[in-house]
Amino acid sequence: MAPDGQLRITSNGGGLWTDPDPAKTLPGRYVSGLAFSPNDANTLYVTYSGFDESIPGHPGHLFRTTNAFAGTPTWTEYQSAGGFANNCWPSIPVSGSIYVGADIGV
């Protein structure tokens, strides 16, 4: 996880790493966590810390893609309460609920 928002994922144990955001649609802020869905290996969640104002035009702190290993994955923003930074990775139990640690709590 990088302070400039760079993401890398691997599907072969680290032999080859790819960028799941080649279109640069996600914020260029510190990545605070990544989590794959326990039910679908192509569903990836990413959390960001920082403030929306630091990257005008790229708001949001929790994002999801359902095609993480596609050439250009499609990302959807999940708005966190009040737009607060997410400071720990999302937890996705088998039930499908998403729990994220933010500045104001879980």
User: For residue 36, what pLDDT is reported?
Assistant: 87
pLDDT in tens, the chain (106 residues): 445 667 888 889 999 999 999 988 888 788 888 888 888 889 998 888 776 666 666 667 789 999 999 989 999 987 655 566 666 666 666 666 777 776 666 5
pTM: 0.78
Note whether 98 and 80 are within 8 A (CB).
Answer: no
Q: What is the rounded CA–CA span in Å between residue 16 and residue 12? A: 7
- Kindly list the domain boundaries of the chain, sorted by start residue: 9-83
**CA distances (Å), 10 to each of 14, 77, 78, 83, in order?**
6, 22, 24, 30
